[in-house]
C-alpha cells in the first residue's frame, strides 16, 4: 500500500466518490492520559491532550509525556470497516519525522488486546498538511488508534478515520511489508523485561498478503544471551496450545524471534541454515523473516524460528519423563548444549576431561531428575575418555568413533566453516538418543558472528594453513571444546577422508559459491521492504555494534560484504579440504560459465534437448542415463540431480 499525498480535503473527497464516507468518522477521543505541556515543560492531563487530534485545527496537537507505547484514537461506538486514514503532522520543523513508523490499529476490545495493524507510516509527507493512506482491511473495528513511534511524544496535529459501519469479515488483513507480520499485544501493555517472567499476550500472525491470520493466546519473554543486551530485544513466544506457525513443519508451543541486531545483512542465520541442509544435516531449525510489532510499536525485521526442543519435526528423539530413571528409558533422549553461558543456568555440569560446561534443553532443567543428571554426566565423561590424548595416544576402552558420531560433528563444523563462525564451539547442541551409544552433534544455531562479522578474527579469510575452525582457532570456545575438536580433526587421519566425502557430496548436489550468491540475492530482494523499515527503527548502518569489524553504511553494502566473503571462502574450503571441482568427474565444467551448444528444458519427467553433436546424461553418482545425439527427449528415471554433458560443457539439471 503506497502513501498518497493528496491535495486539500474537500476536492479529494468529491473525486473519491463512494469508496469512503464524505466526512471523517465521529467518536469519543481516547488515548494516553499523561500529556506534555511544552510551555511549562512538565507533565499535564489538560494541555496537548488527545482531543486536539480531532478539533479540526492543524495548529493544536497531541503530545504525550512518555515517548514510547503512547497513543490516541477514537471509540466509534460500533464496529466500522475503515477505508482511509488521514493525519497532519505537528506544525514545527521536521514535524513529520515524529510520525515515521507510527502505526494505525483497529480493535474491538477497549484495551486493544485484540488490535491488528491497519496502516504504518513509512515516510514523512511534510508538515501541517493532511496526508492520506487507503486502508484495505475487511474486519470492522469499534476502536481505532494511532500509536506513536518510539522516541517521540506521539505528536500529531490531526487525525481522521473514514469508513462504513459494519462487522466486516476476516478475508483481508494488513501486512506491514511483503513479509509476514507478527503482532504481539500484551495484557495491560506490560513490556517483556527478562528471560524468566512470561508476559501474557495475544500473538497475531498475518501472512499470505493479508489473507491468512492466526491469532492465539500466548506468553512472551526475552531470550538469548549477548543478543539480549541490545535495544532491539530477542523474544521467545510460548503459545498456550501447540500451534502450527506459517509453513513450519513442527506443531509446538515455543517459538523464537531472533533480533539479528549485529547482523545488518539480516540473513546470516538464513544462509547457514540453508547451508546445513545442503550439507545433509539431520534437522535444521525452521526460520522465516518477519516484521514484529509489540503493543503497536514497530520493532523491526526479525527471524521467526523453531525453539530448539524435542518433538516431531524438531529434534525428534524420545522425550524423557521424570519417571524414566532406570533401564533403557534412562539412556535417552537428552538434548544438551555445550554452552559457554552454562553457569547462568539453574542446572548444568562440567565434564571431567575437557571441562565442557553442559546445560539442558531436554529434559528441561526444571524437570530433570538426579538419576538422569548423573547418567548423562557419566555418559559425557565416558565419551571423553574414549578420545586419544597426548599422554595416552591409544585410548583406554573402545575408540571414540563407537561413542561419538563423526558425520554429524563434521556437518556441524562445515556449516560453521562456510560461515567462519567464531561461536561454533561456544555453543554446540548435542543429542543422546535412547539405546544408541553414540553422541550426535546438532542442530546448527546462531551465525550472527559469522561471515566476517567478528572484529576479533577479522578478516577470517586471511588465515592461512588449515581452515579456520578445523584447527580450532575459534575466538571463543566453551571449556576446552577446541581441544576435543582437534582430536577429531587433526589427530585422526580418517576424518580427513570423511570430511572430503561429505563436502564432495554437497558440492555435487549443487552447493557452491554461486548457489550461495544466488540465495543471498533472493533473500536480499525478499528482505528489502522490511530492511528499509528496520533501519529506520534502528539507524545503526554507520555504527559498529556487537562484534562488527566494519560498518558498511548501507544495507546493500552489508549484503555485498557477505557476498564478497562467500566468493573467497568456498574456493578456500575446496583447497583446504582437497576438493577440486574442475577435476571432479561429475562437476568438471559445471563451474565454468558455458556458452550453450545445446539447449534443454524439463517437461514432466522428460528432458528435451536440442543441439548439434553428441550428449551424455549422468546421475550425480556417475551412472550414465543417455549417450547419443543431442536432439532428443530423455525419460528421467527418478527425481534428483543430473549432469548433462556436451563436449567440454556440462549443465546441472534438477528434476
CB closer to Ca ion, 57 vs 111:
57
| Alpha carbon distance 132, 500 (integer Å) | 60
| Alpha carbon distance 327, 347 (integer Å) | 23
CB closer to Ca ion, 25 vs 157:
157
Shortest separation between residue 147's beta carbon and Ca ion, angstroms = 18
Which residues here bind Ca ion, judged by CB under 5 A?
A: 52, 55, 57, 60, 157-158
| Alpha carbon distance 58, 91 (integer Å) | 7
Shortest separation between residue 45's beta carbon and Ca ion, angstroms = 17
CB closer to Ca ion, 87 vs 298:
87
| Alpha carbon distance 416, 413 (integer Å) | 5
Shortest separation between residue 7's beta carbon and Ca ion, angstroms = 20
Shortest separation between residue 37's beta carbon and Ca ion, angstroms = 16
CB closer to Ca ion, 157 vs 590:
157
Q: Reply yes or no: is the peptide bond before residue 443 cis, omega within 30 of 0.
A: yes
Shortest separation between residue 120's beta carbon and Ca ion, angstroms = 22
Report CA-CA distances (Å) from 364 to 257, 340, 346, 518. Answer: 20, 18, 10, 39
Shortest separation between residue 196's beta carbon and Ca ion, angstroms = 44
Asked if 484 and 413 touch (Cβ cutoff 8 Å), the reply is no
CB closer to Ca ion, 63 vs 115:
63
Q: Is 446 left (phi over 0), alpha (psi -120 to 50) or beta?
A: left
Asked if 168 and 208 touch (Cβ cutoff 8 Å), the reply is no
Shortest separation between residue 59's beta carbon and Ca ion, angstroms = 7
- For 385, list phi and psi in degrees, rounded to 5: -65, -20
Nearest-CB residue to Ca ion?
Answer: 60
Shortest separation between residue 140's beta carbon and Ca ion, angstroms = 26
DSSP string, 155-217: -BSEEEEEEEE--B-SS----SSSSPEEEEEEGGGPPP-SSSPPEEEEEEEEETTTTEEEEEE
The residue behind cell 555445550 is 338
CB closer to Ca ion, 99 vs 481:
99
CB closer to Ca ion, 128 vs 136:
128
DSSP string, 423-472: TTTTEEEEEE-TT---EEE------TTTTT--TTS--GGG--SS-TTTTT
Shortest separation between residue 31's beta carbon and Ca ion, angstroms = 13
CB closer to Ca ion, 160 vs 417:
160
What are the contacts of 316-323 at 24+ separation with CB within 8 A? 316/283, 317/431, 317/433, 317/434, 318/433, 318/434, 319/362, 319/363, 320/362, 320/363, 320/367, 320/368, 320/372, 321/367, 322/363, 322/367, 322/369
CB closer to Ca ion, 146 vs 425:
146
Amino acid at each position: 500500500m503506497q502513501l498518497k499525498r493528496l491535495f486539500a480535503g474537500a476536492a479529494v473527497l468529491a473525486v473519491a466518490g463512494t469508496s469512503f464516507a464524505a466526512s471523517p468518522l465521529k467518536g469519543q477521543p481516547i488515548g494516553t492520559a499523561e500529556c506534555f505541556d511544552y510551555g511549562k515543560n512538565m507533565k499535564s492531563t489538560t494541555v496537548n491532550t488527545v482531543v486536539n487530534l480531532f478539533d479540526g485545527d492543524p495548529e493544536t496537537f497531541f503530545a504525550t509525556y512518555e515517548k514510547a507505547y503512547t497513543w490516541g484514537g477514537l471509540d466509534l461506538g460500533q464496529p466500522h470497516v475503515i477505508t482511509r486514514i488521514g493525519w497532519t503532522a505537528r506544525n514545527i520543523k521536521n514535524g513529520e519525522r515524529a510520525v515515521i513508523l507510527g502505526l494505525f490499529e483497529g480493535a474491538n476490545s477497549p484495551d486493544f488486546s485484540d488490535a491488528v495493524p491497519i496502516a504504518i507510516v513509512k515516510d514523512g509527507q511534510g508538515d501541517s498538511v493532511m496526508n492520506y493512506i487507503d486502508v484495505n482491511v475487511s474486519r470492522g473495528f469499534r476502536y481505532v488508534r494511532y500509536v506513536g513511534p518510539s522516541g517521540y511524544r506521539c505528536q500529531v496535529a490531526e487525525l481522521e478515520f473514514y469508513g462504513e459501519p459494519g462487522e466486516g469479515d476476516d478475508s483481508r488483513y494488513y501486512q506491514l511489508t511483503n513479509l509476514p507480520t507478527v503482532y504481539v499485544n500484551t495484557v495491560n501493555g506490560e513490556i517483556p523485561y527478562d528471560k524468566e517472567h512470561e508476559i501474557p499476550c495475544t500473538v497475531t500472525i498475518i501472512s499470505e498478503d493479508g489473507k491468512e491470520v492466526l491469532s492465539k493466546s500466548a506468553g512472551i519473554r526475552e531470550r538469548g544471551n549477548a543478543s539480549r543486551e541490545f535495544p532491539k530485544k530477542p523474544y521467545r513466544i510460548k503459545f498456550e496450545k501447540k500451534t502450527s506457525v506459517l509453513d513450519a513443519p513442527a506443531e509446538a508451543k515455543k517459538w523464537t524471534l531472533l533480533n539479528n541486531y549485529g547482523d545488518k545483512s539480516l540473513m546470516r542465520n538464513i544462509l547457514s541454515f540453508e547451508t546445513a541442509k545442503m550439507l545433509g544435516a539431520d534437522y535444521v531449525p525452521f526460520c522465516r523473516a518477519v516484521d514484529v510489532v509489540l503493543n503497536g510499536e514497530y520493532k523491526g525485521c526479525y527471524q521467526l524460528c523453531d525453539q530448539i526442543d524435542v518433538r516431531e519435526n524438531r529434534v525428534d528423539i524420545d522425550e524423557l519423563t521424570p519417571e524414566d530413571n532406570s533401564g533403557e528409558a534412562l539412556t535417552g533422549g537428552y538434548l544438551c548444549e555445550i554452552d559457554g553461558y552454562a553457569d547462568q543456568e539453574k542446572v548444568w555440569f562440567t565434564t571431567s576431561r575437557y571441562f565442557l560446561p553442559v546445560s539442558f534443553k531436554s529434559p528441561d532443567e526444571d524437570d530433570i531428575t538426579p538419576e538422569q543428571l548423573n547418567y548423562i554426566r557419566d555418559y559425557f565423561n565416558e565419551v571423553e575418555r574414549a578420545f586419544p590424548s597426548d599422554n595416552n595416544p591409544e585410548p583406554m576402552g573402545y575408540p571414540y568413533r563407537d561413542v561419538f558420531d563423526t558425520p554429524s560433528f563434521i556437518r556441524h563444523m562445515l556449516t560453521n566453516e562456510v560461515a567462519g563462525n567464531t561461536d561454533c564451539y561456544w555453543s554446540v547442541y548435542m543429542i543422546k538418543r535412547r539405546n544408541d551409544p553414540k553422541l550426535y552433534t546438532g542442530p546448527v544455531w546462531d551465525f550472527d558472528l559469522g561471515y566476517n562479522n567478528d572484529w576479533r578474527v577479522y578478516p577470517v579469510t586471511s588465515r592461512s594453513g588449515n581452515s579456520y575452525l578445523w584447527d580450532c582457532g575459534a575466538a571463543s570456545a566453551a571449556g576446552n571444546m577446541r581441544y576435543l575438536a582437534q582430536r577429531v580433526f587433526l589427530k585422526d587421519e580418517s576424518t580427513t577422508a570423511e570430511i572430503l566425502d561429505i563436502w564432495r557430496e554437497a558440492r555435487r548436489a549443487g552447493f557452491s559459491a554461486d548457489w550461495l550468491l544466488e540465495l543471498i540475492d533472493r533473500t536480499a530482494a525478499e528482505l528489502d521492504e522490511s530492511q528499509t523499515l528496520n533501519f529506520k527503527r534502528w539507524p545503526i548502518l554507520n555504527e559498529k555494534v556487537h562484534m562488527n569489524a566494519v560498518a558498511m553504511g548501507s544495507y546493500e553494502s552489508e549484503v555485498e560484504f557477505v557476498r564478497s566473503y562467500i566468493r573467497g571462502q568456498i574456493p578456500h574450503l575446496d583447497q583446504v579440504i582437497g576438493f577440486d571441482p574442475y577435476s571432479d568427474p561429475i562437476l568438471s565444467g559445471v563451474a565454468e560459465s558455458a556458452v550453450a551448444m545445446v539447449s534443454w528444458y524439463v517437461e514432466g519427467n522428460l528432458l528435451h534437448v536440442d543441439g548439434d553433436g553428441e550428449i551424455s546424461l549422468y546421475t550425480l553418482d556417475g551412472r550414465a542415463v543417455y549417450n547419443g545425439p543431442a536432439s532428443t527427449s530423455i525419460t528421467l528415471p527418478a527425481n534428483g540431480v543430473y549432469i548433462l554433458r556436451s563436449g567440454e560443457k556440462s549443465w546441472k539439471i534438477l528434476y
